[in-house]
C-alpha cells in the first residue's frame, strides 16, 4: 500500500530537554536541523516529574499548577539561549513550547503522536556506547520504535585516523599503481592535498545582542523590506 504524504503538512521536529548539558546539545542540533527546511517546525518539550510525595491532594494540585505556569517560559528561553550561544540561524516557522507532567518517555512519545512529529531529538548522558544508557530515556525512546530518534552526542572524531585508502579505488589510481609498480599510489587528482569544501548559506543570521526574553528574531525570519 502506498502512503501519500500531504505536502502542506509541516515537517515537525520534536526535541526533549531537561536543561542538562546533554539536552542543551540536543536543542542546538534540533534547531539547526529545523533551519534546513522552510516547512520545518521546531517543538521543544520538557516533561516534569510531578511526583514529589505530596500526600495532600490540594498540595499536589498547587505544585502541578506552579510547574505548568513557570516552565513554559523557562523552556522557551532555554531554547533561544542555546540558539544564541551557537550562533544559529533563525527558524522559518514559530517555535513550539510544551510542558507535560509524568514519565518522560510516555510524555515525549504521546506529544510526538499529538504533533505528528517526523522525528524526535534527545540527548544522552552516556559516556560511551548504547550499553551505557540502558534503561535511560534515550534508550527507551529508541527501543520504542515509534518514530525516528536522533540521539544527540558531542562530535568526537579527533582520535580517529583518516582512511589510508579510497574505497572503491579510482580507475586512474589503479592504473597509476600498476604503471609505477606500487611506487605511486594515487592519480594526479587524488594525490593533491585535501581542501575542505566551501559551504555557502543564504540564511539570515540573528542579532544575538538581544536578550533571550526579547529574542524574537530567532523565532521568525526578518523582513527583507
Residues 197-223 have pLDDT tens digits of 555 544 444 444 554 444 444 444 444
pLDDT of res. 163: 72
Q: What is the pTM of this model?
A: 0.68
Low-confidence ranges of the chain (pLDDT < 70): 1-7, 51-57, 125-135, 164-167, 194-225
CATH class of 11-154: alpha beta
Which residue spans of the chain are classified as CATH 3.40.50.620?
Answer: 11-154
> Residue 99 and residue 200: Cα distance in Å, rounded?
36
Q: Which residues pair with 29 in a beta bridge?
A: none
Amino acid at each position: 500500500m502506498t502512503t501519500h504524504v500531504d505536502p502542506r503538512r509541516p515537517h515537525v521536529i520534536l526535541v526533549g530537554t531537561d536543561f542538562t548539558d546533554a539536552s542543551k546539545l540536543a536543542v542546538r542540533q534540533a534547531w539547526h536541523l529545523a533551519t534546513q527546511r522552510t516547512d520545518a517546525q521546531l517543538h521543544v518539550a520538557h516533561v516534569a516529574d510531578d511526583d514529589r510525595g505530596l500526600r495532600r491532594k490540594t498540595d499536589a494540585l498547587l505544585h502541578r499548577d506552579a510547574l505548568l505556569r513557570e516552565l513554559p517560559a523557562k523552556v522557551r528561553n532555554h531554547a533561544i539561549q542555546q540558539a544564541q550561544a551557537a550562533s544559529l540561524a533563525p527558524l522559518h516557522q514559530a517555535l513550539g513550547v510544551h510542558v507535560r507532567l509524568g514519565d518522560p518517555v510516555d510524555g515525549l512519545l504521546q506529544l510526538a503522536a499529538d504533533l505528528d512529529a517526523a522525528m524526535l531529538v534527545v540527548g544522552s548522558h552516556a559516556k560511551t556506547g548504547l550499553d551505557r544508557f540502558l534503561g535511560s530515556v534515550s534508550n527507551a525512546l529508541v527501543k520504542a520504535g515509534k518514530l525516528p530518534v536522533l540521539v544527540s552526542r558531542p562530535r568526537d572524531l579527533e582520535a580517529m585516523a583518516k582512511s589510508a585508502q579510497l574505497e572503491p579505488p579510482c580507475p586512474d589510481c589503479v592504473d597509476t599503481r600498476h604503471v609505477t609498480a606500487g611506487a605511486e599510489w594515487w592519480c594526479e587528482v587524488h594525490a593533491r592535498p585535501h581542501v575542505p569544501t566551501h559551504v555557502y548559506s543564504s540564511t539570515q543570521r540573528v542579532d544575538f545582542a538581544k536578550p533571550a526574553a526579547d529574542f524574537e528574531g530567532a523565532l521568525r525570519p526578518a523582513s527583507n523590506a
